[in-house]
Chains A and B, each alone.
Chain A
């Protein structure tokens, strides 16, 4: 047998060196922290054997501060393309074992090239983030590198789905790249995001805080609202990424894939007929309504522990991806406050970008009253919800389950905001304001003149309730398309979305709208 060509042997040796990343010690250190290496993560994320790496030999070009001596191929990021459930996807994985996954000029060029490819080919972009920050030795080149990535994140937003999986630190300006992407998944325990770290904060403000409290998973899941999903570990986060992508189209021209399932589209949801208590003062759980309505096991809630008075998430109904927005009467009575407005607005726009029809479950008692909310700008925040719904051109179906009061009903996808089909349950109450408040304004003179003021107010309120605390007055004026039994809801919603599948509602030509933020 002839001798192997030494040039081929050399290539094999080089490939092996690339595969080892930062070397055994650093890989062991990574494992000890409970983290996987960039390549192990890619293996878990991508269909077996479909990953193809690009530019593995790129290394940094500078020799500032003597780092030229130590060149590791790949330079701290693995980029390439592969398939998830057979659909193409582009991804980059920062390799913490190589220079701490820091951002260099060449790292940025690799990532940007990949993003350009993803855009041209209309395929989702997944970023696996685990980086110590900017490579200080490269100075402004590293900063420029970040900016190149941010620019692409922003310009490609709404064209291809972008998912950021936070598997390690992401500090300083680097946190802005995930912030622009559509979905952020954070791993509990070893991922964190912040702009100024604990040391800087201590030096400037004297506040003592650790990284986990400042910007860990729990913080961004329940306080800041930055992250959408929490994962227990790397494996969980990557499995979530695969799962979530199955709800999205590959780009803004495609429709989301249909996923067949055994849950019948015409299933009568008997439980829903008894879910809304007769006494309008007693709350119920809207999450339950969602679970009953959607295809079994398909509900994926976005931001489940932040602004819990609103609920947002993706599910399937009759195999179609549907974005669901709702108000949760069991938390803060389901009022719209600043955080809930932010949560709903962002989600509605995510759905609209990617042709995902929106189902809105309305139980809207009002906006949160208070000086604090008004001074913090509930007007401009609430306006975002209105703007997002009015702008969204995807099929929109709304169900008024109970309360629909005043401005807080108008913004929640009311019929004349452009909702295609609006249904109400018989428990619906559609009015400008509650009975007591309304009669005190409308019949002030009459009440003041009465001998029994309290009795008169009560009688008038009861009268008002009879007229408005039902959906028939609204239906008579055409503000509701139909009144349905709650158990029919699943069937009615699926049929509505089928009828609206080819909806076309082009926006007037413009650069872009000017949404209040």
Chain B
């Protein structure tokens, strides 16, 4: 295999020999070099020392848990939807069809249980359908907004 390599402005003509041979013979501008490739790392054997455990430190910036319906509660065909976790009234819709949304982004506000609950996107994607408008009553587990993941 022949190639031209440019290193810091200087061009070298490099010819590589059989890559499986040891050493690999490399010709650089007519000079013959022997290259000993590093041995492949030994196959990974289970380490015997305990790995340090990543427990959360005192951060207080806990990511807001994003509510997802249980798989058994999802009506087939609505896996990509934002679903009402509790029955209530929609007070605000923050996205429109065609909008890109990121994970955890608030897509609408649902007033229920004396609280304006922000409903969040469980996956990044594009909004393809908005089935709600402010003031609308929604049922438990009703499909509200469809987000197709990218």
Enumerate chain A interface residues (CB-CB to B < 8 A).
Answer: 31, 34-36, 40, 43-44, 222-223, 233-236, 238-240, 243, 271, 280-283, 285, 287-288, 291-292, 296-297, 299-300, 305, 308, 328-335, 365-366, 368-370, 372, 403, 405, 434
Contacts and interface: CB of A to CB of B under 8 A. Distances in A.
18 contacts: A222-B68, A223-B71, A234-B46, A238-B50, A280-B114, A285-B64, A287-B65, A288-B60, A288-B61, A288-B62, A297-B57, A308-B65, A332-B85, A365-B115, A368-B86, A369-B86, A369-B87, A403-B114
Contact of B58 (A233, A291, A328, A403): A291
A283 B57 contact: no
A330 B65 contact: yes
Contact of A240 (B45, B53, B114): B53
B68 to A, nearest CB: 8
A439 B145 CA distance: 34
Contacts of B87: 369-370
B70 interface: yes
Given A234-B46, A288-B60, A296-B58, A365 B65 contact: no
A501 B78 CA distance: 52
Interface in B47-66: 47-48, 50-53, 55-62, 64-65
B124 interface: no
Given A287-B65, A292-B60, 7 more contacts: A239-B50, A288-B62, A291-B60, A299-B56, A334-B113, A368-B140, A369-B87
A287 B61 CA distance: 9
B125 interface: no
Contacts of A333: 86, 112-115, 117
Contacts of B68: 222
Q: How large is the interface on B (under 10, 10 to 19, 20 to 34, 35 or more residues)?
A: 35 or more
Contacts of B116: 281-283
Given A223-B70, A368-B86, A369-B87, A332 B46 contact: no
Contacts of B60: 271, 288, 291-292
A292 B55 CA distance: 15
Nearest to B62: A287
Contacts of B55: 243, 297, 300
Interface of B: 45-48, 50-53, 55-62, 64-65, 67-68, 70-72, 85-87, 111-118, 140
A292 B13 CA distance: 63
A368 B85 CA distance: 10
Contacts of B113: 332-335, 365-366
A283 B50 CA distance: 40
A327 B52 CA distance: 31
Contacts of B85: 331-332
A372 B65 contact: no
A31 B50 contact: no
B62 A236 contact: no
Given A236-B53, A292-B60, A283 B118 contact: yes
Nearest to B115: A333
7 nearest A-B residue pairs (beta carbon): A333-B113, A296-B58, A365-B113, A333-B115, A287-B62, A239-B53, A235-B51
B114 A405 contact: yes
Contacts of A329: 115
Nearest to B86: A332
Contacts of A283: 115-118
Nearest to B44: A31
A236 B51 contact: yes
Find the residue from B51, B114, B118 having the highest chain A CB count within 10 A.
B114
A243 B53 CA distance: 9
Contacts of B50: 44, 235, 238-239
A331 B53 CA distance: 28
Nearest to A269: B60
Given A333-B115, A365-B115, A297 B56 contact: yes
Contacts of A31: 45-46
Nearest to A283: B115
A296 B57 contact: yes
A93 to B, nearest CB: 15
A317 B48 CA distance: 33
B50 to A, nearest CB: 5
Contact of A281 (B45, B48, B57, B114): B114
Given A329-B115, A405-B114, A372 B140 contact: yes
B33 to A, nearest CB: 38
Contacts of B118: 283, 330
Nearest to A45: B50
A288 B85 CA distance: 22
Contacts of A34: 46
B53 A308 contact: no
A369 B61 CA distance: 31
B113 to A, nearest CB: 4
A434 B114 CA distance: 7
Contacts of A234: 46
A291 B65 contact: no
A332 to B, nearest CB: 5
Given A234-B46, A285-B62, A285-B64, A370 B53 contact: no
Nearest to A233: B51
B119 to A, nearest CB: 10
Contacts of B112: 333
A368 B141 CA distance: 12
B67 A308 contact: yes
